[in-house]
Amino acid sequence: MEHSLSITVGTSGAEINGQDNRAIQAGVDYLAALGGGTLKILPGQYQLDNAIYLRNNIRIQGSGTETVLIKNPSVQTTLVADADWYEDHVTLVNSDGFEVGYGVCLKAEAPNHNGYNVIKRTLVARQENRFWLDEPLEKNFWTDHQAQIATLFPILTGEHIHNLEICDLVLDGNRSQNQHLDGNYAGCIFLQNCQSIHIKNVETRNYNGDGISWQICHDVTVTNCLSRNNADLGLHPGSGSLRPIIRQNHLEGNRIGLFFCWGVKHSMVEKNRIFNNLQFGVSIGHRDTDNIIRKNRIEGNGEVGVIFRNEPNEERCPHRNLLGDNQIINSGKIGIDIQGETRSIMLLKNQIIETREPAERIGLQIGQKVTELVLEKNTFSGLAVETKDLRA
């Protein structure tokens, strides 16, 4: 709206002055209390000791590349006493580097299965090496299960929110000075159970995890963003997410450029540049169906340009996806690899191109159990093997 509520945050000369997460969070909370509005973050570098927790009906607008939110270096220690799921405090072996107000992540081997318990909290009070948390743990963190705590968190995050816009700023995860945190819990941007989200003109870089991760979020639009040099995934549309639009982004130097998690459906992925990611350009798998991936330039990725992942059975495979009008260039050993019992894939008018020195490189590899595959007007250039069909 032309005259909606807005407020500025800056290192000086703004309505709220400060250069850390507290100043930005104050602006978000002020707007949220009045029903929403625009938070304008003025030029400067803002050092974060906790995530910015987003709210309904908020627009976060930076000043382009002159607004940089950077995560401070993390510290890590172990728990000195067991912490049970109902408790609201933890006791640390070494509290150096931990302060009230900091965001933290707890991790421990799960007592009842082979995985890990992982949970994020904020430290809200302290007595020597004992810290109280903003919410109870809800999971067990036991010393004999290697319970650890670290100052790890997303840079921007939201859960159960709607009508959010993030634009025109840089988010830096300070990867070299932070421990790893899985993209199911964090990233430069991490959203869960959200709807109607717009992210545009945002650079997400150097996170020791994902660039942008959204889980069980519907109608997420990511346009004209740069996601680079993140340890894991450039963009991570996550479990059960419906109707994402991913358009005109540049994904470079991540482990995987674009990773479809579980059950991502009815997405539009077009006109992106997916370059020089270490493993795959695009990875699509577990029940990711009815997606359109078109007019992208997918180049120089380490192993495969586009992979349809091998799932345990037909029910879990990525069916009914369209891959069309893409340029897939110099990508590892295989341009497109369709694995498992995948069916009803359409490959239309793709160009699979190899310009490197001669080697045993494959344009399209079709797995033994692939069915109902439609191939029309795809072209191949410079490859040792254009199509390797394992069904024959």
Top CATH class, 153-389:
mainly beta
Query: What distance separates the 2 farthest-apart alpha carbons in the chain?
Result: 70
Helices (H) and strands (E) in the chain, counts: 1, 39
Output the CATH code of domain 76-150. Answer: 2.40.30
pLDDT, tens only, 70-121? 999 999 999 999 999 999 999 999 999 999 999 999 999 988 777 899 999 9
- Closest among 37, 38, 43, 46 to 63, alpha carbons compared: 43
> 226-228 and 362-366: which strand pairing?
unpaired
The two three-digit tokens of residue 186, written as one number: 């964090």
Please determine, for residue 358, whether its predicted confidence score (pLDDT) is greater than 60.
Answer: yes
- Per residue in 172-208, pLDDT (tens digit) is 999 999 999 999 999 999 999 999 999 999 999 999 9
Q: How far apart are CA 387 and CA 350, in angstroms?
A: 13
Residue-wise pLDDT for 288-339, tens only, equals 999 999 999 999 999 999 999 999 999 999 999 999 999 999 999 999 999 9
All CATH 2.40.30 domain ranges of the chain, comma separated, are 76-150
Strand pairing class (76-78; 148-150) = antiparallel
Cα dihedral: 320, 324, 330, 336 (round 10): 20
The mean pLDDT value for 130-147 works out to 96
Hey, which residues does 256 pair with through a beta bridge? 233, 280
Bridge partners, 254 (sequence order): none
Closest of 125, 209, 146 to residue 175, by C-alpha = 209
DSSP label at residue 3: T
Please check whether residue 236 is in contact with residue 216, taking contact to mean a CB–CB distance below 8 angstroms: no
CATH 2.160.20.10 domain locations along the chain: 153-389
Region of 377 on the Ramachandran plot (φ > 0 left; ψ -120 to 50 alpha; else beta): left
Quick one: which H or E segment has residue 31? helix 21-33
2 band by pLDDT with thresholds 50, 70 and 90: low
Contact 24, 7 (CB under 8 A): no
Global pTM value:
0.96
| C-alpha neighbours within 13 Å on the C-beta side of residue 147 | 20
